[in-house]
């Protein structure tokens, strides 16, 4: 391996936690009472509407407006009449979302392993260039990343094979030299494998950690070295053993 490509949302960046905290704080501002059901609706709407931006049916701002049209009626809250008003309204949520941006605790250690392996490090995300780069800056990981590729910057999205191939090209590596890690089986694993990369699925609900999925090259060398050479003086024969051996050998010669 010469490079690793990470997905961003729910892989390095805790999107679900950040968004959940934001929605829980936002709902009371809209006169509602936060509940697990409303939170589940927020994410269900996001899952339904966001792909319409990926598919080119809506602009990035347009998918935000569409989410308001679906979510606010659940609170009996009127959707602002004009698009500028809707954008200003959505900014209230975004402010809370940004205030809660956070990396998973294993994100920086994983990036540091990749760097200590002397690997190139890329991000491939189905997101907007400005927002995804801002996330990396705010959560303090931007300095460990060589290349950030987004739906906007590439003009294609996962699982289009070109998304992985172009990210590899930006990193200056071939797909065969590249490991992809992400939380979405279809987008981060199966799509990457179809494009010729090695891929590993980060299943956080099953307890996976990024650091478990990332081989540590120098540790492997260290372990190999341990197998090949004695670790302590006790592993070497003592002078007494060497002498006894010579004695035995001498007797056998007789």
Query: Footprint of Mg ion on this chain (CB under 5 A)?
Result: 7, 9-10, 183-184
Residue written as tokens 């053993």?
241
Phi/psi for 199 (5° steps) reads -140, 145
Closest approach, Cβ 125 to Mg ion, in A, equals 8
Closest approach, Cβ 50 to Mg ion, in A, equals 11
Tokens of 28: 């009371």
Closest approach, Cβ 183 to Mg ion, in A, equals 4
CA distance 80 to 131: 24
Indicate the residue among 27 and 197 with the shorter CB distance to Mg ion: 197
CA angle, residues 17, 184, 152, in degrees to nearest 5: 85
Q: Name, in order, each residue with C-beta under 8 angstroms of 131's C-beta and a sequence gap of 6 or more.
A: none
Closest approach, Cβ 182 to Mg ion, in A, equals 5
Residue written as tokens 């049209």?
69
Closest approach, Cβ 42 to Mg ion, in A, equals 17
Indicate the residue among 27 and 210 with the shorter CB distance to Mg ion: 210
Residues listed for the chain: 254
Indicate the residue among 7 and 23 with the shorter CB distance to Mg ion: 7
Indicate the residue among 22 and 27 with the shorter CB distance to Mg ion: 22
Q: Give the Å distances, CA to CA, from 157 to 6, 48, 150, 187.
A: 14, 16, 7, 9
Indicate the residue among 6 and 68 with the shorter CB distance to Mg ion: 6
């Amino acid at each position: 391996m010469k490079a690793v490509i990470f997905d961003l949302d729910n892989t390095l960046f805790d999107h679900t936690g950040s968004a959940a905290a934001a929605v829980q704080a936002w709902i009371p501002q809209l006169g509602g009472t936060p509940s697990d059901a409303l939170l589940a609706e927020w994410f269900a709407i996001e899952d339904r509407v966001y792909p319409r931006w990926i598919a080119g049916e809506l602009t990035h701002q347009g998918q935000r407006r569409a989410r308001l049209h679906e979510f606010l009626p659940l609170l009996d809250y009127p959707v602002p009449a004009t698009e500028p008003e809707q954008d200003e309204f959505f900014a209230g949520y975004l402010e809370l979302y940004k205030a809660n941006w956070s990396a998973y605790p294993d994100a920086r250690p994983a990036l540091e392993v990749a760097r200590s392996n002397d690997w190139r490090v890329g991000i491939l995300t189905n997101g907007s260039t400005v927002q995804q780069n801002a996330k990396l800056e705010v959560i303090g990981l931007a300095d460990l990343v060589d290349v950030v590729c987004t739906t906007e910057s590439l003009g294609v999205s996962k699982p289009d094979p070109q998304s992985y191939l172009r990210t590899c090209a930006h990193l200056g590596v071939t797909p065969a030299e590249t490991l992809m890690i992400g939380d979405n089986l279809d987008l981060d694993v199966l799509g990457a494998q179809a494009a010729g990369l090695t891929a590993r699925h980060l299943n956080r609900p099953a307890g996976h950690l990024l650091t478990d999925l990332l081989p540590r090259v120098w540790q492997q060398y260290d372990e190999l070295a341990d197998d090949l050479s004695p670790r302590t003086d006790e592993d070497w024969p003592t002078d007494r053993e060497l002498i006894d051996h010579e004695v035995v050998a001498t007797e056998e010669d007789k």
